[in-house]
Chains A and B, each alone.
Chain A
Amino acid sequence: MEKIRIRVSVGSRYRELARLVSRLGIATVCEGALCPNIFECWGSGVATFMIMGDTCTRGCRFCYVRKGSPQPLDPMEPVKVAEAVRTLGLDYVTITSVDRDDLPDGGASHFAETIRSIKRVNPGVRVEVLIPDFGGDYDAIRLVVESGPDVVAHNIETVRRLTPLARDWRAGYDQSLEVLRTAKKINPGIITKSSILLGLGETLDEVIDAMRDLRGAGVDIIVLSQYLRPSPKQLPVAKVYTMEDFRELEKIAYSLGFAYVVAHPLARTSYRAREAYIETCRRLRIYGEGLEGSARRP
């Protein structure tokens, strides 16, 4: 199968950020998941933090992040991340994490403390979090939502039929929809976001159903992108979508009522997240912020 070609420029800003990330001892999903956009994002001074360690308790079959028994949480991590945000001079931060099924609250309180710490140290900063499903636990989701993130993302990852094949057995299609619905219910002012990886063998109708389900759960931003196999250990790519396919899906997504759609082969949940946030705020303000089903494309 023809691979996607990416032009990369290893500029001085990339090297500078790589040094900084290494010196601060912070984990990034950019490296952990072998993200193809690392040169572009780091070259523009943006990185996505990955908290709660580099080892995930789940075994999703599309993901490259290390799996196994994780280390205990670093109680200083919320402070370290907040300081790193200040050092990097970021005004928009994206935080993701591994899943921590080994912890009683799935790591929700640590996540919440990280968000609070970032906001305390960096007044005015906007925080976007990509959260685990916390086993669908309401109190865990509430802890995170009430700690004040501006955007809560949780990925459905794939269509209903392929969920058992692609995701860990503890994940669930309906459970993920419920996480998104719950976050929105707890704070209707929060922007919610979800991603679908395409190319795992889904049909167009199944993708449309998944998009409709996400919209039904009140999701504001949808990210559609191409699955790229990180190594031979993960699922093979069943289909490579063309740019034309992505343009078509973008139109369909907007027709379903999403406030903002990112449809690009190399898009990932945190890719150009700041732009997506700003534009979503603008559109939702005009078309009724936080009102269910009111987000329509201008």
Chain B
Amino acid sequence: MGEAVAEIEIEKAILVIESPFDGVVREVIAKPGSSVEPGSELMRVEVFGEDQDKGVGGQ
């Protein structure tokens, strides 16, 4: 939790996305360097202490 897991470049700035969960990144869904739409999934994180994987999404 709080560790930087992705950088998203927008016109105004570069957003360094912190993980909202404690866990391990299991799958990177958004291709590095590609454009993503708001609300799209960036990666899947296996969250410690929970059964389910959680997605880390863009804004």
Contacts and interface: CB of A to CB of B under 8 A. Distances in A.
Interface of A: 3-12, 34, 36, 38-39, 228-232
Contacts of A36: 12-13
Contacts of A7: 4, 16, 18
A12 B14 contact: no
A6 B14 contact: yes
A186 to B, nearest CB: 36
Contacts, number: 51
Interface residues of B, number: 17
Contact of B13 (A4, A10, A11, A231): A4
Interface of A is mostly: loop
A91 B2 CA distance: 29
A4 B14 CA distance: 6
Contacts of B32: none
A10 B16 contact: no
A229 B59 contact: no
B19 to A, nearest CB: 9
B15 interface: yes
Contacts of A3: 9, 12-14
A10 B16 CA distance: 11
A12 B12 contact: no
B25 interface: no
B12 A5 contact: no
